[in-house]
Structure 1
Amino acid sequence: MEQMGLVALAMPRHTVSEVSEEMKSLIIEKNKMGLEEEPELLVKGWLLREVRGTWIKQRRYWFVLSQDSLDYYSGPEKGARRLGTLVLTNLCSVIWPDKQTYKETGFWSITVYGRKHCYRLYTKHFNEAVHWACAIQKIIDTKAPVETPTQLLIRDIEENKFNPEVVENTYQRNPILRYTQGPLYAPLLPFPYGSLEHTYHSGKGYGSVREEAVKLFNCLQQLESAREPIPIIQGVLQTCLDLRPLRDEVYCQLVKQTSYTPAPYTAAHLRYWQLLTCMSCTFLPGTTVLKYLRFHLKRIQSQSPESEMDNYASFISEALEKTKCRECVPSWEEIQMLMSRQEMLCTVHYPGPGSCQLYISSHTTANEVVRRIQEKLGLQDSKNTFALYEQNALWEQPVTGNALMADILTSFSTKESETKSQWKLCFKLYCLLDADSISVDSIEYLFLFEQCHDMVLRGQLPACEEDLQALAALRLQCIVGDFRAHAPCPSLDELFPSDMLEARVIMSLSAPQALPPCQVAAQGCPTTQRFTSGLLAGTLWSHMSTAVHKQKVEQDMRLRSRLKEESATVMGSILERWKGLTGYSRRDSMAAYLTIVRQWSGFGCTLYEVDFYISSTGSISQKLWLGVAATSVSLYRQGEAEALESYPYGQICSYGISDSNTFKITAGDRDLLFETTKLTEIMQLMNAYFSAIRHQRGKGEDADITIAESTEVGFHHLATTPTPTLLELPSHPV
Structure 2
Amino acid sequence: MLAEPLQHNLLQICVLCTLQIFGLYIVAFLLHSIHNFFFHFENLNLHYLLFIHFWMISYFFMIVKPITNEDRIRLYHNLVNSRRTLVDTDMLKKPQDTGGGFLRNTLRRLSKHRLEKLRQEHGSLTDHGETYKGFPYAYWAFSRSMIPQSLHKIPEVEEQVALQVFQIILTYAGLGQNGDTVRSMEEEHVNLIQSVMERCMRKDVLLTELYLQLIKQTTDHPDPNSRVNLRHWALLSLAVSVILPPNKAVRKYLLTHLKRCASDYVTEEGKYARFAEKCMSKTQGTRRRQWPPSREEIMCTINRRPIYARFHFMDGQYHAVEFHPSATAKDVMEIVKKKIGLRETALGYAIYEVLGNSERSLVPEEKVADVMSKWERYRMANVAGVNCPATANGNSTSVVVGKTCRRQHHFFLFKKHLFLDDYMDLSDPVEKELLYHQVLHGLRSDRFPISEKEAVSVRVSQYNTLVGVAVVVVVVVLVDTSSVLFHSVFPVAITAHTSTKSCDPLLTPPRCSPPNDKRECMRQIASWTAQGLSPVMLTALQAQLEMGDCGDVLEDYRSIASHCLPPRFVPNIPHEGVALHHQSLRGMTSAEAKKAFLNLIQSWPLHKATIFDVMQSFTSNWPRVLWLAVDQDGLHLLEHRSRNALCSYEYDSILSYSPALNCLMIITGSEKKQSKVILTTSQAFQIANLIREYTEVLQSPKQIRHNRDVNPKKKIISQSRPVSILHKPVPIIDGTPS
| Superposition TM-score tier, normalisation by shorter sequence | 0.5 to 0.7
Q: Distance in 1 between matches of 2:731 and 2:677?
A: 15
Q: Distance in 1 between matches of 2:206 and 2:413?
A: 37
The aligned amino acid for 1:670 is S
1:634-649 aligned at under 5 Å gives the runs 634-649=636-651
| CA 1:439–1:193: 2 relative to 1, 3 Å | closer
For the 8 Å contact 2:654–2:724, the answer to whether it is kept is: no
- Deviation for aligned residue 1:636: 0.3
Which has the larger displacement, 674-683 or 649-658? 649-658
| CA 1:665–1:578: 2 relative to 1, 3 Å | farther
> Helix, strand or coil: the match of 1:278?
helix
| CA 1:650–1:165: 2 relative to 1, 3 Å | same
1:315 corresponds in structure 2 to 275
What do the CA deviations read for 1:221-263 (whole angstroms, capped 9, x no partner)?
4376445344433332233335554222221221221123121
Which has the larger displacement, 171-180 or 274-283? 171-180
Q: Work out which of the residue numbers 663, 686, 690 in structure 2 matches 1:661.
A: 663
2:156 corresponds in structure 1 to 193
Aligned: 1:497 with 2:460? no
- Deviation for aligned residue 1:455: 1.7
Q: Distance in 1 between matches of 2:541 and 2:412?
A: 27
- Deviation for aligned residue 1:727: 8.4
> Helix, strand or coil: the match of 1:333?
helix
Aligned: 1:379 with 2:340? no
What do the CA deviations read for 1:122-179 (whole angstroms, capped 9, x no partner)?
xxxxxxxxxxxxxxxxxxxxxxxxxxxxxxx9xx99xx9xxx9753788994433322
Q: Distance in 2 between matches of 1:633 and 1:329?
A: 38
Q: Distance in 1 between matches of 2:682 and 2:160?
A: 38
For the 8 Å contact 2:147–2:163, the answer to whether it is kept is: no
Aligned: 1:674 with 2:679? yes
Q: Distance in 1 between matches of 2:148 and 2:96?
A: 20
Q: Work out which of the residue numbers 209, 228, 236 in structure 2 matches 1:276.
A: 236
Q: Distance in 2 between matches of 1:187 and 1:15?
A: 10
1:19 corresponds in structure 2 to 98
TM-score, normalised to structure 2, is 0.59
**Contiguous gaps of at least 5 residues in structure 1:** 1-8, 22-152, 196-206, 502-565
For the 8 Å contact 2:692–2:731, the answer to whether it is kept is: no
- Deviation for aligned residue 1:362: 1.0
1:589 corresponds in structure 2 to 593
> Helix, strand or coil: the match of 1:292?
helix
> Helix, strand or coil: the match of 1:644?
strand
TM-score, normalised to structure 1, is 0.59
2:321 corresponds in structure 1 to 358
1:25 corresponds in structure 2 to none
Q: Distance in 2 between matches of 1:449 and 1:311?
A: 47
1:606-621 aligned at under 5 Å gives the runs 606-612=610-616, 614=618, 621=623
| CA 1:183–1:349: 2 relative to 1, 3 Å | same
1:652 corresponds in structure 2 to 654
> Helix, strand or coil: the match of 2:417?
strand
| CA 1:172–1:285: 2 relative to 1, 3 Å | closer
> Helix, strand or coil: the match of 1:431?
coil
The aligned amino acid for 2:224 is P
- The CA RMSD over aligned residues, in Å, is 4.3
> Helix, strand or coil: the match of 1:380?
coil
1:445 corresponds in structure 2 to 432
What do the CA deviations read for 1:624-676 (whole angstroms, capped 9, x no partner)?
11111111211101022121111222333333337762331323333322222
- Deviation for aligned residue 1:271: 0.8
The aligned amino acid for 1:469 is V
2:351 corresponds in structure 1 to 388
1:425 corresponds in structure 2 to 412
1:195-234 aligned at under 5 Å gives the runs 209-210=161-162, 212-222=164-174, 225-226=183-184, 228=186, 229-234=189-194
- Deviation for aligned residue 1:285: 1.2
- Number of aligned positions between the proteins: 501
The aligned amino acid for 1:366 is A
| CA 1:673–1:620: 2 relative to 1, 3 Å | farther
Aligned: 1:237 with 2:189? no
Q: Distance in 2 between matches of 1:609 and 1:670?
A: 21
**Contiguous gaps of at least 5 residues in structure 2:** 1-83, 101-115, 176-180, 383-405, 453-531
The aligned amino acid for 2:543 is L
1:400 corresponds in structure 2 to 363
| CA 1:392–1:474: 2 relative to 1, 3 Å | farther
Q: Distance in 1 between matches of 2:195 and 2:324?
A: 21
What do the CA deviations read for 1:421-468 (whole angstroms, capped 9, x no partner)?
333222211111128963356222222222222222222222222212
Q: Distance in 2 between matches of 1:170 and 1:299?
A: 23
2:291 corresponds in structure 1 to 328
> Helix, strand or coil: the match of 1:184?
coil
- Deviation for aligned residue 1:575: 5.9
| CA 1:681–1:17: 2 relative to 1, 3 Å | closer
Percent of aligned positions that are identical:
21
Q: Distance in 2 between matches of 1:339 and 1:237?
A: 14
1:438-587 aligned at under 5 Å gives the runs 438-439=425-426, 442-465=429-452, 466=532, 467-483=534-550, 490=559, 493-498=562-567, 500=568, 567=571, 574=578, 577-578=581-582, 581-587=585-591
Q: Distance in 2 between matches of 1:423 and 1:481?
A: 36
What do the CA deviations read for 1:581-624 (whole angstroms, capped 9, x no partner)?
44332222222222322222222111111112538xx9665211
Q: Distance in 2 between matches of 1:173 and 1:450?
A: 66
1:533 corresponds in structure 2 to none
What do the CA deviations read for 1:363-391 (whole angstroms, capped 9, x no partner)?
21111222344455343344x51111123
2:305 corresponds in structure 1 to 342
Q: Distance in 1 between matches of 2:549 and 2:130?
A: 80
The aligned amino acid for 1:438 is D
Which has the larger displacement, 345-354 or 9-18? 9-18
Which has the larger displacement, 366-375 or 215-224? 215-224
Q: Distance in 2 between matches of 1:343 and 1:390?
A: 20
Which has the larger displacement, 455-464 or 437-446? 437-446
The aligned amino acid for 2:306 is E
Q: Distance in 2 between matches of 1:453 and 1:679?
A: 25
For the 8 Å contact 1:656–1:716, the answer to whether it is kept is: no
> Helix, strand or coil: the match of 1:316?
helix
Q: Distance in 1 between matches of 2:206 and 2:311?
A: 36
- Deviation for aligned residue 1:705: 6.4
For the 8 Å contact 2:639–2:645, the answer to whether it is kept is: yes
Aligned: 1:254 with 2:217? no
For the 8 Å contact 2:550–2:582, the answer to whether it is kept is: yes
What do the CA deviations read for 1:67-125 (whole angstroms, capped 9, x no partner)?
xxxxxxxxxxxxxxxxxxxxxxxxxxxxxxxxxxxxxxxxxxxxxxxxxxxxxxxxxxx
The aligned amino acid for 2:289 is R
Q: Distance in 2 between matches of 1:661 and 1:718?
A: 22
- Deviation for aligned residue 1:345: 3.3
Which has the larger displacement, 684-693 or 209-218? 209-218
Which has the larger displacement, 343-352 or 618-627? 618-627
2:472 corresponds in structure 1 to none
> Helix, strand or coil: the match of 2:606?
coil
Q: Distance in 2 between matches of 1:425 and 1:629?
A: 23
Q: Distance in 2 between matches of 1:700 and 1:386?
A: 24
| CA 1:361–1:394: 2 relative to 1, 3 Å | same
